[in-house]
Amino acid sequence: MATVPTLRLNNGVDIPQLGFGVFQIRPDDTVEAVTTALQTGYRHIDTAEMYGNEKEVGEAIAKSDVNPDEVFVTSKLNNNYHGFDAALRAFDRTWEALDLGRVDLFLIHWPLPTLGDFMDTWRALERIYQEGRAKAVGVSNFEIAHLRRLVGASEVVPAANQIELHPYLTQAPLRAFDAQTDIATEAWSPIAQGGVLDDPVIVSIAQRQERTPAQVVLRWHIQLGNVVFPKSTTPQRIRENFQIFDFELDANDMAAVSGLNRDERTGPDPNTFDYVPE
């Protein structure tokens, strides 16, 4: 079984660079999917209150043969609980749902800049971190302008920024800003919901490497330095997505994949997204 490399966050916490995402996995399927991921070797699970499966993630980890302390767990604040007091209450719900006695990384899921001020929400995450209830805190879907404002007025610099990132949306300026600010970049939708897998450039590299297109794209993420979360409920795919540590892309292949950028999103624009669940 391959050993997943780790990245050191700006507060000294180590995070596995390859994780398993549970977005759009139904609660009824989550325990089985996470169990398969843990058996495969994944030691980082990425969930969120919005996904509706935090409880099942916790159950799968607790029931696994893997020591729960070896599994890094990320969750995120739901959009309808922005604000200092509401965010603290939401974190309590996440803590109870996971039932692991810890949260390794807790993120603001979306900045919602058109609806209010995310700074009060960040103050709550700072409190959670300072009290030791989360090992690290960060953000998700924050753009450079959001990060500048947050970092300039905060005691705690976000440990991570989880953003949509794939070969058709390489986010080079945002990744560079994250790096300059010592914020780890995490990639959601790493294969553009499958949209990049038929790209001739990626298919050609995969054929030459005798790998799947998904493995090539995930390897590209790893070599860029991203934390990445492939998602699947198919055991074979879960295992294939893990098998990316016994080959490398050369500089030409890396440049070819990066050159596919179209600034094309599969999800919403963080500057205008204002969805708040009822």
Long-range contacts of 261-268 (CB under 8 A, 24+ apart): 261/167, 261/168, 261/169, 261/170, 261/172, 262/168, 262/169, 263/168, 263/169, 264/168, 264/169, 264/192, 265/164, 265/169, 266/164, 266/166, 266/169, 266/189, 266/192, 266/193, 266/195, 267/164, 267/188, 267/189
Give the three-state DSSP class for 79.
helix
pLDDT beyond 80 at 278: no
Query: Given pLDDT bands bounded at 50, 70 and 90, which one contains residue 1?
Result: low
Beta-carbon count within 10 A of 207 CB: 11
Q: CATH assignment of 6-258, given 3.40.630.30, 3.50.50.60, 3.40.630.10, 3.20.20.100? A: 3.20.20.100
pLDDT average, residue stretch 83-107: 98
Catalytic amino acids? 51
Provide the residue type at 138 as one letter: G
What are 5-28's pLDDT values in tens digits? 999 999 999 999 999 999 999 999
In this structure, what are the phi and psi dihedrals at residue 99, rounded to the nearest 5 degrees? 55, 45
What predicted TM-score, i.e. pTM, was given to this entire model?
0.97
Report yes or no: 125 and 89 within 8 Å, Cβ to Cβ.
Answer: no
Burial class (CB in 10 A: 0-12, 13-18, 19+), 237: middle
What are 188-229's pLDDT values in tens digits? 999 999 999 999 999 999 999 999 999 999 999 999 999 999
Domain map (residue ranges) of the chain: 6-258
Q: Considering the chain, what percentage of its residues have pLDDT values greater than 90?
A: 96
What are 25-68's pLDDT values in tens digits? 999 999 999 999 999 999 999 999 999 999 999 999 999 999 99
